[in-house]
């Protein structure tokens, strides 16, 4: 096992990092999808993200990912440098999302051990066209702002390490002999040599490789370099060297401010804006940089779109950044192990505390008890911490849904608002993994089937925009997630008709005998779709049954509410699972059971004369004038040696879903916080049991799920 981890560590890391990057990217893009354009920070961020992905994919030799991220990097490089106006923002958003999808898709393939065989050609062409378009918009007046090989350059500049305070700044002018041929190539050699020591470098003319005419300029005016490095003048001189081609090297040390101002002589040229890459200098010389920016706005030139000052978003972002630094990622299986061990610790602690050896009369346990209390406190804290470690907010999952609404609604041409409520609700990590798919189906359904087209909405007199609301809350130890739309709602008649066609209705039972709830449940059956046409997103009848299956697999429930003409709500009720549940421990026969405290209304001792026995065998108990059905736990599960007489045992009154039942058990043991564990999957699902747990003495108790008792 360990070997496997080691050899694939690099790949794992690659996948993990890029997944995170893509997630952040998507979040950022969606956050600004409704804006007119990306703000400068985001452009830089997207550029950097793509650059990182490109780099790491290159190392891992996933060529198609490298290619596509490279292309997108180009686009953002252009945006970053030229600040073009009139960028079709939505189109750009789509391009970014497409690229993100492509890379995610490829990474999925890598994960499942397949090769990266996706062909990014189409996407790249699309991006090329897009780039041409925005360049065309922008550069009509400006002479060849950025040459075709633009993508070579970011490589050079971005690998440059962050400047340190020991850095010195130089202006270098290399003058070649006039008869030198292909001076541009020689100049490139100089740049190449300097790159070894350069923390930052820029030069003029810029496009020395692609543009052969630059050779002429170099010879006439000299080759100018701005260099930031820790080396001394002498060292630089040595690196450049004076060969057969170089006539003279002039080196002047200069201040950071001057350095940032770039080439005074470079005005006709587009000099590369390095400000964003040398953040430290920027901080030091914010004023200088500002001046420089203003300098740059010449008439007829492009206009820099500064980030709107005082935008609260910026503050929030800064904060998020500093938070991120404090995260580490841990293998989930290690967490599980830790969790199990802490559970064991708590148990062995109680074994020590309640050790019969301590019960010897006459022992002075004052000090022991003090120490024991301290230890109990620590172990409780430990348990709480590990629990909270596993809890993750639903934010990311919800963000993904935002994306889906965006995609689907645009493709279908529907104008839809998406609202998220309670996305900070924390849920166990395992649960999050399991609800992502079902939620996606539900959201997609809401957008595709739920919300009508704009014309239909108009026709039915609906004024407000289509709206999909995703909300989450915790209640009674469960998470409730609901997807609400204000669309047309479910059509009872249509569903019934379809159900009849598929032979799902009982013979002779009139339609009116089915409750709305029952009718709506039909749509969760396999192969059931009322959408007449199969669209790209739904209508194939696969979906709702998968949703229900997935939700049930984690012990959840799906409830459907709908009002014709006003919309429908899909409610998911999902257990928090690993969260600690407050439980009441009960005993019947030789078995222990636990029932969630929240479900228990009261405990009652009843007398035989309060019981009502029906001839059919059903039993009821009269409590304060009300009659409740009785369930004998021992009977239900066919246990041995349990108490028969109601006067010997205890009635537990349980209330759920508005129904009340009395469960008869032998005795109550006590209240306890329990860690819910699933019953091993090897044992098939048992009605009325939702899991198991360990009690204080290490023995196992079964957790009752009374909803299984109520049919």
What is the closest distance, in whole angstroms, from the C-beta atom of residue 337 to other proteins in the complex?
A: 9
- Which residues, 6 or more positions from 200, have their beta carbon under 8 angstroms from its beta carbon? 157, 160, 163, 226, 227, 228, 274, 277, 278
Beta bridge partners of 673: 582
DSSP character at residue 677: B
Q: How far is CA 679 from CA 569, 583, 690, in A?
A: 31, 17, 8
What is the closest distance, in whole angstroms, from the C-beta atom of residue 329 to other proteins in the complex?
A: 21
Residue closer to other proteins by CB (options 341, 612) is 341
What is the closest distance, in whole angstroms, from the C-beta atom of residue 68 to other proteins in the complex?
A: 16
Q: How far is CA 578 from CA 141, 242, 336, 388, 536, in A?
A: 63, 71, 10, 10, 37
Whether the Cβ atoms of residue 206 and residue 272 lie closer than 8 Å to each other = yes
What is the closest distance, in whole angstroms, from the C-beta atom of residue 422 to other proteins in the complex?
A: 33
Residue closer to other proteins by CB (options 451, 676) is 676
In angstroms, the CA 523 to CA 445 distance is 12
What is the closest distance, in whole angstroms, from the C-beta atom of residue 637 to other proteins in the complex?
A: 3
- Please give the sequence-ordered ranges of beta strands (E in DSSP) within 304-425, or none if there are none: 391-393, 416-421
Residue closer to other proteins by CB (options 311, 687) is 687
Strand 700-704 and strand 591-596: pairing? parallel
- Give the CA diameter of the chain: 119
DSSP character at residue 536: S
Positions that interact with other proteins (CB under 8 A): 3-4, 7-8, 11, 60-62, 113, 115-116, 340-341, 343-344, 590-592, 636-639, 677, 679-684, 686-687, 689, 692, 694, 698-702
Residue closer to other proteins by CB (options 57, 529) is 57
Contacts 24+ apart (CB under 8 A), 105-109: 106/62, 106/64, 106/65, 107/15, 107/18, 107/19, 107/65
What is the closest distance, in whole angstroms, from the C-beta atom of residue 116 to other proteins in the complex?
A: 7
Element (H, E) at 189: helix 183-195
Residue closer to other proteins by CB (options 524, 694) is 694
Q: In 3D, which of 344, 321, 340, 343 has the Cα closest to residue 332?
A: 340
In angstroms, the CA 274 to CA 156 distance is 12
DSSP character at residue 524: G
What is the closest distance, in whole angstroms, from the C-beta atom of residue 352 to other proteins in the complex?
A: 17
Residue closer to other proteins by CB (options 173, 694) is 694
Helix (H, G, I), strand (E, B) or coil at 249: strand
What is the closest distance, in whole angstroms, from the C-beta atom of residue 74 to other proteins in the complex?
A: 25
Residue closer to other proteins by CB (options 295, 340) is 340
Residue closer to other proteins by CB (options 295, 344) is 344
Tokens of 149: 């090989």
Residue closer to other proteins by CB (options 553, 700) is 700
In angstroms, the CA 356 to CA 441 distance is 56
Dihedral (CA of 396, 399, 401, 403) sign: negative
Q: What angle (nearest 5°) sits at the alpha carbon of residue 50, between those of residues 127 and 293? A: 90
What is the closest distance, in whole angstroms, from the C-beta atom of residue 478 to other proteins in the complex?
A: 22
The DSSP string of 431-470 is HHHHHHHHHHHHHHHIIIIISPPHHHHHHTT--SPEEEEE
Residue closer to other proteins by CB (options 246, 692) is 692
Tokens of 695: 């009690």
What is the closest distance, in whole angstroms, from the C-beta atom of residue 112 to other proteins in the complex?
A: 12
Residue closer to other proteins by CB (options 227, 703) is 703
What is the closest distance, in whole angstroms, from the C-beta atom of residue 579 to other proteins in the complex?
A: 17
What is the closest distance, in whole angstroms, from the C-beta atom of residue 692 to other proteins in the complex?
A: 6
- Which residues, 6 or more positions from 438, have their beta carbon under 8 angstroms from its beta carbon? 546, 547, 550, 551, 572
Other CB atoms within 10 Å distance of the CB of residue 374: 10
Residue closer to other proteins by CB (options 7, 238) is 7
Residue closer to other proteins by CB (options 49, 693) is 693
What is the closest distance, in whole angstroms, from the C-beta atom of residue 118 to other proteins in the complex?
A: 13
What is the closest distance, in whole angstroms, from the C-beta atom of residue 491 to other proteins in the complex?
A: 36
Whether the Cβ atoms of residue 114 and residue 57 lie closer than 8 Å to each other = no
What is the closest distance, in whole angstroms, from the C-beta atom of residue 131 to other proteins in the complex?
A: 29
Residue closer to other proteins by CB (options 317, 677) is 677
What is the closest distance, in whole angstroms, from the C-beta atom of residue 78 to other proteins in the complex?
A: 31
Residue closer to other proteins by CB (options 116, 550) is 116
Q: How far is CA 101 from CA 19, 120, 123, 456, 474, in A?
A: 11, 11, 11, 32, 32
In angstroms, the CA 669 to CA 595 distance is 12
Q: How far is CA 171 from CA 153, 226, 390, in A?
A: 20, 5, 55
Residue closer to other proteins by CB (options 6, 616) is 6
DSSP character at residue 684: P
């Amino acid at each position: 096992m360990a070997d496997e981890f080691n050899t694939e560590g690099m790949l794992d890391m690659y996948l993990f990092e890029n997944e995170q990057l893509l997630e952040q990217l998507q979040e950022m893009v969606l956050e600004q999808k409704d804006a007119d354009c990306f703000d400068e920070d985001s452009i830089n961020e997207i550029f950097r993200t793509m650059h990182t992905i490109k780099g790491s994919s290159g190392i891992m030799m996933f060529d198609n990912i490298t290619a596509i991220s490279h292309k997108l990097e180009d686009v953002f490089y252009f945006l970053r440098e030229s600040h073009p106006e009139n960028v079709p923002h939505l189109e750009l958003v789509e391009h970014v999302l497409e690229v993100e999808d492509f890379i995610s898709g490829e990474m999925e393939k890598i994960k499942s051990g397949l090769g990266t065989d996706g062909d990014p050609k189409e996407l790249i062409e699309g991006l090329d066209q897009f780039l041409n378009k925005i360049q065309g918009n922008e550069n009509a007046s400006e002479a060849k702002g950025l040459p075709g090989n633009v993508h070579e350059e970011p490589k050079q500049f971005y690998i440059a390490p962050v400047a340190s305070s020991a850095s010195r700044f130089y202006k270098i002018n290399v003058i070649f002999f006039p008869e030198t041929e292909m001076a541009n190539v020689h100049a490139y050699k100089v740049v190449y040599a300097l790159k070894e020591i350069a923390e930052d470098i820029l030069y003029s003319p810029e496009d020395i490789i692609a543009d052969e005419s630059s050779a002429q300029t170099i010879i006439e005016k000299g080759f100018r370099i701005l260099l930031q490095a820790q080396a001394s003048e002498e060292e630089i001189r040595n690196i450049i060297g004076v060969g057969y081609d170089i006539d003279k090297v002039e080196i002047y040390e200069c201040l950071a401010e001057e350095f940032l101002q770039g080439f005074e002589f470079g005005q006709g040229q587009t000099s590369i804006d390095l400000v964003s890459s040398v953040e430290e200098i920027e901080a030091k010389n914010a004023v200088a940089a500002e001046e420089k920016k203003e300098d740059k706005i010449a008439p007829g030139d492009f206009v820099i779109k500064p980030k709107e000052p005082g935008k609260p978003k910026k503050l929030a972002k800064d904060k998020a950044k500093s938070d991120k630094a404090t995260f580490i990622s841990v293998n989930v299986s290690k967490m599980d192990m830790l969790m199990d061990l802490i559970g064991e610790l708590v148990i062995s602690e109680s074994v020590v505390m309640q050790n019969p050896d301590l019960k010897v009369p006459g022992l002075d346990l004052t000090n022991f008890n003090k120490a024991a209390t301290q230890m109990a406190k620590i172990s409780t804290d430990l348990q709480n911490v590990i629990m909270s470690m596993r809890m993750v907010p639903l934010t990311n999952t919800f963000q993904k849904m935002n994306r889906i609404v965006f995609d689907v609604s645009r493709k279908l041409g529907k104008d839809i608002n998406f609202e998220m409520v309670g996305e900070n609700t924390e849920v166990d990590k395992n649960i999050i993994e399991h609800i992502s798919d079902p939620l996606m189906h539900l959201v997609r359904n809401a957008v595709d089937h739920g919300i009508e087209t704009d014309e239909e909405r108009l026709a039915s007199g609906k004024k407000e925009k289509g709206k999909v609301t995703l909300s989450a809350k915790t209640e009674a130890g469960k998470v409730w997630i609901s997807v609400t739309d204000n669309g047309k709602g479910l059509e009872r008649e249509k569903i019934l008709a379809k159900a009849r066609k598929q032979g799902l209705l009982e013979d002779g039972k009139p339609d009116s005998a089915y409750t709305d709830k029952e009718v709506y449940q039909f749509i969760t059956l396999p192969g059931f779709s009322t959408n007449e046409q199969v669209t790209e997103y739904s209508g194939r009848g696969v979906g709702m049954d998968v949703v229900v299956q997935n939700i049930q697999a984690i012990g959840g429930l799906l409830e459907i509410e709908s009002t014709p003409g006003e919309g429908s709500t899909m409610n998911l009720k999902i257990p928090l699972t690993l969260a600690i549940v407050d439980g009441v421990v009960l005993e019947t026969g030789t078995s222990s059971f636990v029932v969630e405290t929240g479900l228990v209304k009261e405990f009652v001792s009843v007398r035989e004369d309060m019981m009502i026995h029906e001839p059919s065998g059903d039993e009821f108990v009269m409590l304060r004038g009300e009659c409740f059905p009785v369930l004998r736990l021992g009977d239900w599960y066919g246990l041995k040696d349990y108490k028969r007489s109601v006067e010997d045992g205890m009635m537990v009154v349980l209330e759920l879903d508005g129904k009340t039942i009395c469960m008869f058990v032998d005795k109550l043991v006590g209240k306890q916080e329990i860690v819910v564990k699933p019953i091993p999957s090897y044992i098939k699902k048992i009605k009325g049991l939702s899991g198991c747990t360990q009690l204080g003495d290490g023995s196992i108790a079964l957790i009752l799920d009374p909803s299984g008792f109520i049919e």
